[in-house]
Amino acid sequence: MKIPRHVAIIMDGNGRWAKRRGLPRIKGHQRGAQVLHNTVKWSLELGIEYLTAYSFSTENWKRPKEEVEFLMNLFIQMVDREMELLKKERVRVKILGRKKGLPENVLKKWNEVEEKTCNFDRMTLIIAFNYGGRKEILDAVESIIGEVRNGKEVILTEEIFRRYLYLPDVPDPDLIIRTSGEMRLSNFLIWQSAYSELYFTKRLWPDFTKKDFLRAIESYSKRERRFGGLSDG
């Protein structure tokens, strides 16, 4: 099987999973966090180099205050709970998103997990948190404008523009998986997804299994990527 170097996941359907069971939405998020833990393990087994998980979007602030608070705390809890696995498996963590607007305790964990794992090299786990693709592009443009105002000459090419995105050294996702049956990107990796292969499954994120993950990789494996060129055969 052809293994994608970078897999990105839109972990969707936590709320519906809970609702179907008559549970509060947060129960779905709790269960979803466990599935992310499992997905990290499956990715390690497969030798995936970069795994990105969309955990909180810049639009998710629109949700009820209690749910937003729960998701902030879940981020903190997850970092603490997963530290052991990260160390054992030598997983480097990067947070992808906007620092502005996040509470102090979340920012502290953000820095802590990046610092503690920065020398690990087996896999990079990217947590998209307070992330919005359009905001990321605007932030990049703003940095460029700032530099130009300070007298720097910036010649804009795709490669140079990329240097201004949040994580310039992370390669574009080869495969983007979205669970729960929704077929949209919801502001995820807008610049980086230009040539990503997309895979949608009806499975709700809390029910996502290794089999589902392998199915997505298998589908990717069979695709021919042409990047605008012509096929080899």
3-state secondary structure at position 67: helix
Closest CA to 8 of 159, 230, 185, 141: 185
Q: Are 220 and 4 in contact (CB under 8 A)?
A: yes
* Strand 175-178 with 6-10, pairing: parallel
Among the residue ranges 7-15, 58-66, 114-122, 169-177, the one whose residues contact Mg ion (CB under 5 A): 7-15
180 binds ligand IPE (CB under 6 A): yes
Give the tokens for residue 165.
């995105």
Alpha-carbon distance of 29 to 14, in angstroms, equals: 5
- Total residues contacting ligand IPE by CB under 6 A comes to 17
Residue span 12-41 as binding mask against Mg ion, x where in contact by CB under 5 A, dash where not = x-----------------------------
Among the residue ranges 98-106, 179-187, 192-200, 207-215, the one whose residues contact ligand IPE (CB under 6 A): 179-187
204 binds Mg ion (CB under 5 A): no
Strand partners, 175: 7, 197
- CB 133 to Mg ion: min, Å: 16
121 is catalytic: no
Among the residue ranges 13-21, 40-48, 97-105, 138-146, the one whose residues contact ligand IPE (CB under 6 A): 13-21
Q: Are 81 and 36 in contact (CB under 8 A)?
A: no
Looking at the chain, which runs of residues are DSSP E strands? Answer: 6-10, 50-57, 91-96, 123-131, 175-178, 197-200
Rank residues 35 and 164 by Cβ distance to ligand IPE and give the closer one.
35
DSSP 8: E
- CB 19 to Mg ion: min, Å: 11
* Closest-approach residue to ligand IPE (CB): 15
12 is catalytic: yes
Which chain residues interact with ligand IPE by CB under 6 A? 10-16, 54-57, 60, 71, 180, 182, 184, 186
Which chain residues interact with Mg ion by CB under 5 A? 12
